[in-house]
Amino acid sequence: MQKEFKLTFDDYACHLPEVQPNLIAADFPSRARQHWLAARLNRDHAGRYLVVNLSGATYDNFELQGPVLDVMMSGCVPPLEVLLRLVVSMHRWLTRTPSNVVVAHGPNESAVPTATGPGPCPVVLLYACYLSWLGLADHPREAMQEVMRLLGLPDVLWPSQRRYLSYFGLLQGGLDLQAQGEGRLARVVLLHAGSEDRERLLEVWKQDQLVFRAHIREDDDVCHTSALRVTPNDGCFGDLSMRMVTRQRPTEKGGAVDDWQLEFQVCFHTAFLAAAGGVKRFDAAELDLARGPRPEGCAVDVFLEPMSNEPQDDSENSATAAAAAASRGPRKADGGVEFFDLAAADAEADAEVSGMPDSYHHQVFAPDDIDAFFDEL
């Protein structure tokens, strides 16, 4: 009875489990929940909180006193360079003032699986990378187990999220991606990847941009193999989310069909595939499955083609700086170059939060967007 009373009247029916006192997880602030979540955060943290939105969707935040950082996801993961920059910038925010906290949330739980995956999983990914970067775990995967334990979660991370934990661990260990070269997605082969009673599309997304789409022909179901040539374009490299979406085939009488639904996806960064020779097979265990188990022998083969060695632009240089900061860790990064100039004067650090706009949203597509966000705080 006391627990129910506390949850209802003291906690406003909001579950805010902590990984650390300054690292908080929250449910997606749906329309029904947002008022109570804002009331709880405004009461407990008085505007000293930063909301990291890992849902891939935006929402009205007029009741939230703290700023909201909307991260545009690459499927179920943040883009790698954004993840690197976010980890370091979070540390700057948390160490600027002892009372500052980070509140992260993933997507709203839905009966129909979406590309962003189960609700709390992106939060586990972010906090595991942060704890590993702090030196509190030997590897992000080890930190993942601790984060899930503290949040009371089962092991529900999708394979793509585990893949990005490994990416972060490699960069943290000093892997130089530039030295590995880069590749562009050129060809995809699907093996036993569909069913004959469903209409299927293969889509490739770069954050919120659809860069490739192809119908899987009906005759491909007979031999259970589909080979697709990806038209070269500027978007088919870096962080990519490859998705198979399906719907009921139209009937001969032209009856209504259902909406496109995610069947499976795989999220990856082409630089890591290029470093492994430019060819990668993702078997069923490496796919994010949204509609039950895949047939035996299901796999997705990905082939890259080399990219021309063009001069780096500023965004590539900034991504390199982010990777360097990730490999150094907090103590070395703090003692060296200020990659993200969040060091405020004492007067600024103690300034009233009321000077911040009442409703402050910032969307993050690229690493430099995070700099712009924190420069305005």
Domains parsed from the chain with CATH numbers: 2-175+316-375 (3.90.190.10), 182-306 (2.60.40.1110)
CA angle 339, 342, 345 (to 5 degrees): 135
What is residue 333's predicted lDDT score, i.e. its pLDDT?
A: 46
Task: Name the least confident of 14-23, 94-103, 178-187, 265-274.
Answer: 178-187
Report which residue type is found at 197.
D
Residue 313 burial (C-beta neighbours within 10 Å; 0-12, 13-18, 19+): exposed
pLDDT at 336 over 50: no
Q: Are the beta carbons of 122 and 116 closer than 8 angstroms?
A: yes
The pLDDT > 70 percentage for the chain reads 72
Residue 59 has pLDDT above 60, yes or no: yes
Q: Are the CB atoms for 216 and 203 separated by under 8 Å? A: no
For the stretch 256-300, pLDDT in tens is 567 888 989 999 999 999 988 999 999 999 999 877 777 678 899
Per-residue model confidence (pLDDT) at position 256: 58
pTM over 0.85: no
Residue 192 has pLDDT above 60, yes or no: yes
Relative to beta strand 225-229, strand 239-248 is unpaired
- Give 243's Cβ-side CA count (13 Å radius): 29
Q: What single-letter amino acid sits at 100?
A: N
Distance between CA 72 and CA 51 in Å, rounded? 14
- Output the pLDDT for position 83: 95
pLDDT of residue 307: 81
Question: Is the confidence at residue 5, as pLDDT, over 70?
Answer: no
